[in-house]
Amino acid sequence: MDTNKKKINRKISVAPMMDCTDRHDRYFLRLISKNVMLYSEMVATKSAIHGDRKRILGFREEEKPVALQVGGSDKNELAEVAKLAEQFGYDEININLGCPSKKVQKNSFGACLMKEPDLVAECISNMVNSCKIPVTAKTRIGVDEIEDFEYLNSFVNKIKQSGCKTIILHARKALLKGLTPKQNLNIPKLNYEMVYEIKKANPDLEIIINGGISQTEQIKKHLEHCDGVMIGRAIYQNPYFLTDIEKEILNTNEVPSREQIAKQIISYLEEEVKLGTKVNHIMRHTVGLYHGQPGSKDWKRYLSDNMMARDSDFQKAKHIMTIVQNNEKANQLNS
C-alpha cells in the first residue's frame, strides 16, 4: 500500500515526550483512544542508525497511526532515519526543531535549528526525497530574542518549500540559556495568536497548535483557527481525558471503561513479560488512569507497592483487578 495516499487524521495528537511516549505508553493510550495520532519520544539520528534498531524503533501494529520523531542536523543521517521509519512501518516522520535541552543543543539539533533555516530546509528536503511517508516538523514560535511573526513566517515558508506540509507549533518560544527543560515548558507565556496568524498566512499548510491545552472547550476554540491540536502533559497525567476528547471532539459514541482498559493492559503485560519486558516499564505509564477519581489513591498505592520496582513480579498484577473492581463499585455509588 502506498502510505502517502493514506490520509492521516491529525485533528488530535498526543505530543512526543521523552521517557513518556515509548511503545508501552502508546499501546496503553491506544486502548483508550482509537482516533488520535501518536508520536514517539525523540530518537537521535545516531541512535536510530547505530543502536539496537529493533529495540529503539520497533513497535506493535496496534499502536498505529504513529509517527517517529527524530532529532538531528545531519541531512544524510536524517534521510537515512526517514527511510528506516518507513521500513519499520511508521505513518509519519517528524523532525524535532523545538527541544531546548543542553544535550540537544550540544549536538546542534532541536530548537537551536530555528536559527539555521537554510540547514533545516536542506535536511527536510533530503528526508522528503528519501521516503514516501509524510515528513512533518515540530517547532516553537521563537527562540531566545526572536519572537517575531515575520521571522517565524519566513522559517515556516522555508520548511514548506522543502516539502513539509504539516507543522506543529508549540506556542511558546524556547530560551536556550538559563532555563531548565522543565522551565522551558512553562516560561515564557504562551502566544496562541501567533500560531493563528501563521495559519491565516499559510492556509495551504496543516498547522497543529500545541502548549498548555488541557480542556475540551479549549480544544474546540483552537480548532476554529488551526487544523489540529497536540496535547502532552494533560494526557500523560490524566490519560482517561482521551475519552472526553473522543466523545466531544471526535464524535465517538462508545468509549472503553477504565475497567476494560485495566483488563487489557494486564493481558498486554502478561504477553510482554514473557518476551522479557519489565513490569514497571509498562505499569509506570498507567499511574494516572484513575486521575481525579475516588479510587485514584488505591490504584497509585497498589502500583507503587507492587509494580514499580525493577524486579516487580507479574504474579502481583493479577491482584490489581481487585482494586479495579473496588474502584468501579465506588464510582457507581458516587454516580
Ligand X SMILES: Cc1cc2nc3c(=O)[nH]c(=O)nc-3n(C[C@H](O)[C@H](O)[C@H](O)COP(=O)(O)O)c2cc1C
Catalytic machinery residues: 99
d(CA 128, CA 81): 11
Residue nearest to ligand X (CB): 232
Question: Are 166 and 154 contacting, i.e. CB atoms less than 8 angstroms apart?
Answer: no
Assess 213 for contact with ligand X (CB under 6 A).
yes
Assess 142 for contact with ligand X (CB under 6 A).
no
Q: SS in 3 state form for 112-171?
A: HHHHCHHHHHHHHHHHHHHCCCCEEEEEECCECCECCHHHHHHHHHHHHHCCCCEEEEEC
Site for ligand X in 6-65 (CB under 6 A): 15-18, 20, 41-42
Assess 179 for contact with ligand X (CB under 6 A).
no
- Torsion angle of C-alpha atoms 103, 109, 113, 118, degrees rounded to 10: 150
Assess 288 for contact with ligand X (CB under 6 A).
no
The nearest distance, CB 146 to ligand X, in angstroms, is 18
Assess 69 for contact with ligand X (CB under 6 A).
yes
Q: Which has the closest alpha carbon to 299: 316, 277, 322, 315?
A: 322
**What is the torsional sign of CA 319, 320, 326, 329?**
negative
x-or-dash string of contact with ligand X, 81-100, rule CB under 6 A: ---------------x-xx-
Sole binder of ligand X in the list 83, 233, 281, 291 (CB under 6 A): 233
The nearest distance, CB 33 to ligand X, in angstroms, is 15
Question: Are 228 and 169 contacting, i.e. CB atoms less than 8 angstroms apart?
Answer: no
The nearest distance, CB 244 to ligand X, in angstroms, is 15
**Nearer to ligand X (CB atom), residue 238 or residue 326:** 238
**Nearer to ligand X (CB atom), residue 160 or residue 222:** 222
**Nearer to ligand X (CB atom), residue 95 or residue 266:** 95
Question: Are 40 and 67 contacting, i.e. CB atoms less than 8 angstroms apart?
Answer: yes
Assess 138 for contact with ligand X (CB under 6 A).
yes
The nearest distance, CB 286 to ligand X, in angstroms, is 16
Distances in Å between the Cα of 67 and the Cα atoms of 14, 26, 34 are 10, 11, 15
Q: Which has the closest alpha carbon to 273: 303, 315, 302?
A: 315
**Nearer to ligand X (CB atom), residue 16 or residue 72:** 16
d(CA 194, CA 147): 9
Site for ligand X in 153-172 (CB under 6 A): 170
Assess 210 for contact with ligand X (CB under 6 A).
yes
d(CA 277, CA 90): 22
For ligand X, the binding residues (CB under 6 A) are 15-18, 20, 41-42, 69, 96, 98-99, 138, 170, 185, 210-213, 231-234
